[in-house]
Structure 1
Amino acid sequence: MTTVLSTHGLFAHYGDFQALYGVDTELHQGEAVALIGANGAGKSTFLRSIMGLLPVAREMVRLNGEPVGGTATDRMVQKGVAIVPEGRRLFTGMSVEDNLRVAVDQAARVGAKGGWTLPRLHQLFPILKEKARTQVQSLSGGQQQMVAIGRALLCQPRVLLCDEISLGLAPKVIREIYAALPEIRATGTAMIVVEQDVGLARSASDRLYCMLEGRVTLTGKSADVTREQIGKAYFGAGHGVV
């Protein structure tokens, strides 16, 4: 398998507070990897470190074998990595289409090339065409999440980082969003999905990593790891299953 993204002894800090302790991971081409763990485990920090939003040593993050740790976020987008951030972070006061066109313009500006276009995105999430002229703050949470995913896809990523894309959404909407992930992967895009719902994470991924207090406590094929293993890794030895 071709490794497209990997971390090597990844450490990360917020000022004097250390949030990650020597995290080793790898992501293969076209693969979906779930990152699970309780609040404060370091999952979002891990994604932020990859995207250049936290200072890390260059050798700690590699993209297609190239050291890219600490690379500026816009350069990471240019290199083919995009993120769907926790909380969506859309441009309020702007329409759905204008939010998406920001990504189209950014991709054009940095020379990112790929197969995602507005018409193709409308096929994936038809509601985005219907709501094209609606301001994003007027959308439901699920519709806003679709805009956030669409914005990331229009950056033409080869690696897509998804941070808590089910957070606060109704079960029906979560199923609709997760049903779109196989089509995204079919383009060859590899994905890291941060998810607190362990069952959802396992069903949507090939492999998983569990984090606890900034460290990886379990890794394996999603279909093979047991609930008992996950429970111990999620909460620490001595705790029950999840």
Structure 2
Amino acid sequence: MSAVLSTHGLIARYGDFQALYGVDVELHAGEAVALIGANGAGKSTFLRAVMGLLPVGRDMVRLDGEPVGGTSADRMVKRGVAIVPEGRRLFTGMSVDDNLKVAIDQAARLGAKGGWSLERLHRLFPILKEKAKTPVQSLSGGQQQMVAIGRALLCQPRVLLCDEISLGLAPKVIREIYAALPEIRGAGTAMILVEQDVGLAKEATDRLYCMLEGRVTLSGRSAEVTREAIGEAYFGAGHAVV
């Protein structure tokens, strides 16, 4: 099966600091893949590099086999890649609907086409319809995360990059958000999930990659990789993830 998105010896830097060292990752159509690892492992940097938010070599990122490394984020959206960034980065002072309409307008401007509409999003997250006119800064953290996910979906992605979508949220809210992922995947969207909760990552994805200090230290089927193997890949031999 050919990959819809892949990286090949991906290297990324922040100025003189090298953050990624030859990372190879594959994502197939309709698949969910987790990126796990301790803070500073390079997970968010990986997403930023793929999305065109960091300069990388052209051949280091491929979409449907075509080299796209270093393509601008706008053009990546046009080609069907969207990101839910860490920290949500919503437009404060604007309502829920206005935040979502920014994505609708962007998709229309870029010619991005797909099956996501405001009505469909309201069925996925009914609270967004209820809070449509509410300023986003007045929402709970979980509701803000739903807006951030909705904004990305309205860009009509074939590939959705999710950076720590459970971070700082109550367990009940996390379950509600993760319960929506099968429907998103059912629409044909492949996903890469950066996730700190190893149990959640294993449960919600088909495959996982563990990163340590900018390198992939483990990959495999999520259901088959053991906690002991993940612990060693996370921190080095002799450690376990609980």
Query: Is TM-score (shorter-chain normalized) higher than 0.5?
Result: yes
Superposed counterparts of 1:45-60, under 5 Å: 45-60=45-60
Superposed counterparts of 1:172-191, under 5 Å: 172-191=172-191
C-alpha deviations, 1:166-213, integer Å up to 9, x for none? 000000000000000000000110000000000000000000000000
Give the deviation of 1:238 after TM superposition. 2.5
Q: Which position in structure 1 is the counterpart of 2:171?
A: 171
User: Matched residue of 1:122: which SS?
Assistant: helix
C-alpha deviations, 1:129-177, integer Å up to 9, x for none? 0000000000000000000000000000000000000000000000000
Give the deviation of 1:2 after TM superposition. 3.2
2:121 is the alignment partner of 1:121: yes
C-alpha deviations, 1:3-38, integer Å up to 9, x for none? 100000000000000000000010000000000000
Q: TM-score, normalised by structure 1?
A: 0.99
| Identity across the alignment (%) | 85
User: Matched residue of 2:4: which SS?
Assistant: strand
Q: Which position in structure 1 is the counterpart of 2:233?
A: 233
2:138 is the alignment partner of 1:141: no
Superposed counterparts of 1:45-84, under 5 Å: 45-84=45-84
Q: Which position in structure 2 is the counterpart of 1:6?
A: 6
Q: Which position in structure 2 is the counterpart of 1:38?
A: 38
Give the deviation of 1:217 after TM superposition. 0.3
Query: What count of residue pairs does the alignment treat as equivalent?
Result: 242
User: Matched residue of 2:216: which SS?
Assistant: strand
Structure 2 regions of 5+ residues with no counterpart? none
CA RMSD of aligned residues (A): 0.6
Q: Which position in structure 2 is the counterpart of 1:130?
A: 130
C-alpha deviations, 1:61-100, integer Å up to 9, x for none? 0000110000000000000000000000000000000000
Query: What residue identity is the alignment partner of 2:23?
Result: V
Give the deviation of 1:239 after TM superposition. 2.0
Query: What residue identity is the alignment partner of 1:52?
Result: G
Distance 1:143 1:216 in 2: 33
User: Matched residue of 1:173: which SS?
Assistant: helix
Query: What residue identity is the alignment partner of 1:54?
Result: L
Give the deviation of 1:236 after TM superposition. 1.2
Q: Which position in structure 2 is the counterpart of 1:152?
A: 152
Distance 1:200 1:26 in 2: 20
Distance 1:188 1:132 in 2: 26
Query: What residue identity is the alignment partner of 1:230?
Result: I
Query: What residue identity is the alignment partner of 1:223?
Result: A
Give the deviation of 1:237 after TM superposition. 1.6
Conserved 8 A contact 2:230-2:240: no
Q: TM-score, normalised by structure 2?
A: 0.99
